[in-house]
Amino acid sequence: MSTMDNVEEVHENLSEHCEKHPRELIKYFCPVHQALLCGDCIVLDSHTCKLESILNVSFSFKDSSVYKDIKCLIRKLADDACKTTTTVENKAMAFGNSERKNENEVCDFQSKVIACLNEQFQNLTSQITKVNRELKINLLHLQKISKETEDEATALKADMEKNDNNNVLLFISAQRSKYRANDILDRLHRIEEEVNNIPTFEFTPSSQFESALKGRNCIGAYRSSADTYEHSSDKICSDEHKGSFTTVVLIVL
């Protein structure tokens, strides 16, 4: 520089240190590589490009189209960064809302499943109680008739035995007992027939429901909105990751 004022101005403005050589100040600019350089950069890296002094190139830089383009770019970058941050925040908020919504929906579905199962179990229990009540009434009636018939047969036997030493009374007793015995025998046959016709019951779980529980595909699936696979109501998700398809198993018990 030709004057001391210019030298002082250079030292005053050139206050930024080189990132590669922190002890050195940035003094030069390489237009070819668009690089800010210090003295060590030129010597150690053997720069052969035509360099420009930072003082000279920055003198009219503020009024140049390059600065205006960079300024517009930075402004746009700041706006885009703000928009991106807003987008991420909105996504995070929507994700949180979606998470709570999905959890509530799963809980509601769980309540419906439990309520439906409870109703089915209650109906089944009521049916068992009703059928058994009717069977018990019928069996009690048959027990009563059977006991009365047994008592009558026992009485006939005792009547025959007490007249064993008197032929006249034995004859009369035997003739009377013969007709009554036939009636008692018919009654016993009817009782045995009714008893044999009483059905037996046993509970058989639904094979379809058991298969659904074993397959773990009767509850539902938690799928990504980017899922490109075929949607099926009976397809359950696994814990595998297929590309951008994130799946989670849900089990409601």
pLDDT at position 92: 92
Position 181 scores a pLDDT of 87
What residues does each domain of the chain span? 4-59, 204-253
> What pLDDT score was predicted for residue 175?
81
3-state secondary structure the chain: CCCHHHHHHHHHHCCCECCCCCCCECCEEECCCCEEECHHHHHHCCCCCCCEEHHHHHCCHHHCHHHHHHHHHHHHHHHHHHHHHHHHHHHHHHHHHHHHHHHHHHHHHHHHHHHHHHHHHHHHHHHHHHHHHHHHHHHHHHHHHHHHHHHHHHHHHHHHHHCCCCHHHHHHHHHHHHHHHHHHHHHHHHHHHHHHHCCCCCCCCCHHHHHHHHHCCCCCCECCCCCCCCCCCCCCCCCCEECCEECECCCCC
HSE-up of residue 41 (Cα within 13 Å, Cβ side) = 21
Return the closest-CA partner of residue 184 out of 215, 146, 158. 146
pLDDT tens string, the chain, 253 residues long: the values are 343 344 445 455 688 899 999 999 999 999 888 899 998 888 887 778 889 888 888 888 888 888 899 999 999 999 999 999 999 999 999 989 989 998 999 899 889 989 998 999 999 999 999 999 999 999 999 999 999 999 988 888 888 788 788 888 878 878 878 888 888 899 899 999 999 998 888 888 888 887 777 766 567 777 777 765 444 444 333 333 333 333 333 333 3
Predicted pLDDT of residue 215: 67
pLDDT of residue 129: 92
CATH class of 4-59: alpha beta
What is the pTM for the complete model shown? 0.51
Q: Let me know: does 160 contact 181? Beta carbons within 8 Å.
A: no
Q: Which amino acid is at 32?
A: V
| Structure confidence at residue 216 (pLDDT) | 61
